Amino acid sequence: MRHKVIFSAEGSGAGGGLAPFVRRCVRAALAAEGVDVACEVNVRLTDDREIRAVNRRMRGVDAATDVLSFPMFPLSPGEKPPAEEADPATGLVPLGDMMISWPHVVAQAQEYGHSQRRELAYLTVHSVLHLLGYDHLDEGPQKARMRAREEAILAELDLPR
């Protein structure tokens, strides 16, 4: 199974050298969730100005945030993306888009006492899970299930807490 991860890092200050790492994180999360149809995911590493503008426009929240996820399908955790929605030209199911704030990666890595790579991996995996229907709106079972999946996938990437 080969998923396509389209990566851009314009304006983030991080540079494009992180593309292979981010692609590996996306693919690991999809594999761990048993996604057995080839998907396309767009990842944009950006700055706080851009993510704040998108957050304001799309969610009505006038603040920068660490990650935004825009799923193409209203999936539930464990549900697979619909194979019949594959783009006929590419054969790929467009799973969705994510934006990650590089300044938040840097600040949160320092705050939590781990590497920037670990924080970037966490936010990437977190966003993939959102694309696959996971959420953490409550402080109970939904959040616990999502956190458990995040930590399991990060352990597979050899980036445990």
Task: Provide the CATH number for the domain around residue 15.
Answer: 3.40.390.30
DSSP helix/strand/coil, 40? strand
The verdict on residue 161 lying in a domain is no
Largest CA distance in the chain: 45
The verdict on residue 104 lying in a domain is yes
The verdict on residue 144 lying in a domain is yes
27-71: per-residue pLDDT in tens?
Answer: 999 999 999 999 999 999 999 999 999 999 999 999 999 999 999
Which residues constitute the domain of residue 129?
4-156
8's enclosing H/E stretch is strand 4-8
Q: State how far the alpha carbon of 89 is from the alpha carbons of 1, 30, 86, 94, 147, in Å.
A: 17, 22, 9, 12, 36
Q: How many CB atoms lie within 10 A of CB 93?
A: 23
What is the number of structural domains in the chain?
Answer: 1
The verdict on residue 67 lying in a domain is yes
Q: State how far the alpha carbon of 8 is from the alpha carbons of 20, 99, 117, 125, in Å.
A: 11, 10, 17, 17
Mean pLDDT of 111-115: 95
As a whole number, the mean pLDDT across the chain is: 93
Mean pLDDT of 128-153: 90
pLDDT the model gives residue 15: 64
